[in-house]
Amino acid sequence: MLPREATPESPSPEADPRPGGRIADRLNSIAREQTHEERGEPDTGGRWNSAGIVALAMISLVLLVAVLTSAKAGRPVAPAPMPAGPVLTAMELMQAENGFILKNSKTARAYQANRAALAKSALAVSGLAGSVRGNNAHASALGVPQSDWVAAMDDLTLASDAFAALVANPKTTQMEAKAAYRAVTASCTACHVAFVVE
């Protein structure tokens, strides 16, 4: 490393006879700097402000209540893995159909080009939900009544059938279809919450 040239503004470290020379001067100047509060500026230097602390406390409280409610309801706090078998296979296939529907309903061009395939995918989701409606493996593994599983699959079937019928109508716009698909995803979400699906 080449030595720096000394200028009047920055004398070389060798020119300062004190131990630590320029480092000690810099540390002293840092110690003399005003704090944010003294200058009347908001502190954005990484410290928590009161709003951040309140927000963190609120989030912690909501999470604590959710965990306690889950434990109180007799459900496991940690997600239970879905048992291998026809239900898991059906859910994986539903995820593939869901991905296709979401991808092809994002834009009007994709929606118009794939309208028939979207309806077919929605009917496939209905068929898959119907095929596992009577299977009680996951419900019994979680200690949830089988009637809850049947109701969840019926909700998914109804929402998927309604979406398929809407998409099959050539007058339905992409925005209407996208809004209608929210009912399908809402039934998926409700099932995943009730059955703690990973």
Number of domains in the chain: 2
137 and 52 assigned to the same domain: no
CA 107 to each of CA 102, 164, 182: distance values in angstroms, whole numbers, following the listed order? 10, 18, 16
Given a contact cutoff of 8 angstroms between Cβ atoms, the answer to whether 148 and 100 are in contact is no
35 and 106 assigned to the same domain: no
- Rounded distance between C-alpha atoms, residue 16 and residue 21, angstroms: 5
Chain centre to alpha carbon of residue 177? 23
62 and 159 assigned to the same domain: no
Boundary residue ending a domain (34, 56, 75): 75
48 and 109 assigned to the same domain: no
What is the per-residue pLDDT for 77?
Answer: 47
62 and 91 assigned to the same domain: no
- Rounded distance between C-alpha atoms, residue 70 and residue 145, angstroms: 16
Domain assignment present for residue 46? The answer is: yes
Q: From first to last of its 198 residues, what are the pLDDT tens digits of the chain? A: 455 554 555 555 555 555 555 666 665 555 555 555 566 665 555 555 565 666 666 777 666 666 666 555 555 444 455 556 788 888 889 999 999 999 998 899 999 999 999 999 999 999 999 998 888 777 787 788 889 889 999 999 999 999 999 999 999 999 999 988 999 999 888 888 887 655
107 and 181 assigned to the same domain: yes
69 and 100 assigned to the same domain: no
What is the per-residue pLDDT for 117?
Answer: 93
pTM above 0.95, yes or no: no
135 and 66 assigned to the same domain: no
Domain assignment present for residue 80? The answer is: no
106 and 191 assigned to the same domain: yes
Range of the domain at 107: 86-195
CATH code of the domain covering residue 106:
1.20.120
